[in-house]
Amino acid sequence: MTEKQFEELTNPEIADNDVIQEVCSEIADVIQGAYDSLLEGCGAQLADETAPLDEEEGALRQEQADIAEAAGNLENLLPAQQREAQRQADAALLAGRLEEAEAQRQEYETARHAPEAMKARQREITARLEAITDERQAIAKHVFGVWYSDLQRIIRASEHALFVGLLDTSKAEMYRFQDRHGLGATLERPFSGLVTDGSIAGLTAPDRSQEWESGHRWYSGRQR
């Protein structure tokens, strides 16, 4: 921050409230915009990487439902199919059509073993659905890691800009401003300085404010 910018923001005779409000809005918009962009990117990446799994899962669940319905129908029809196949096989056998009789028997055997084949396929589908869940979770962990890393960089850059670039720099500039204009405390008037502990503390939100509470939660438990 230049001296001219500092004076514009701190001198009530110079400061333009519209300009200050615009600066405040721009700062908030930049930070919120960066966060929104990261969050949107996280969601988009997650959706893109899990889309094939979602499609496969949908197809498998539909197949699972179709198998369950077909198995129920087959269970009801199987006794009648057995009797009909046996009747046709006997008729073909009595007529001397041995190959046809054997074909009828094979057809029935295939139908008889169909329920077990369906159950085997259902087990395969269940195993694959469980694997899809694991794969989806692995993707989510990866995407979260990327999002977290990017978010950390933005937050730490914002911290540096606030604490080092703005607060520390502003505090130093306030004392320089005081010294340049001969407004510091003297031995005769030790409490007459333009810059006081209160004015320094007043740069940030007051105690028990939402900002103070949040900052206290984030930083108070750390060890130096």
Of 54, 60, 36, the residue nearest 139 (C-alpha): 54
Domain map (residue ranges) of the chain? 3-181
Neighbour tally for 47: CB within 10 Å: 11
Q: CATH top-level class for 3-181?
A: mainly alpha
How confident is the model at residue 11, as a pLDDT? Answer: 53
Question: CB within 8 A of 175, min separation 6: which ones?
Answer: 184, 195
DSSP track, 105-160: HHHHHHHHHHHHHHHHHHHHHHHHHHHHHHHHHHHHHHHHHHHHHHHHHHHHHHHI
Residue range 199-213, pLDDT digits in tens: 999 999 999 999 999
Tell me how far apart the alpha carbons of residues 128 and 50 are, in angstroms, rounded to a whole number: 15
Dump pLDDT digits (tens) for 136-158.
999 999 999 999 999 999 999 99
Q: Is the pLDDT of residue 90 over 70?
A: no
> To which residue do tokens 């046709």 refer?
88
Confidence of residue 49 (pLDDT cuts 50, 70, 90): very high
List C-alpha distances in Å: 39 to 4, 45, 48: 37, 10, 14
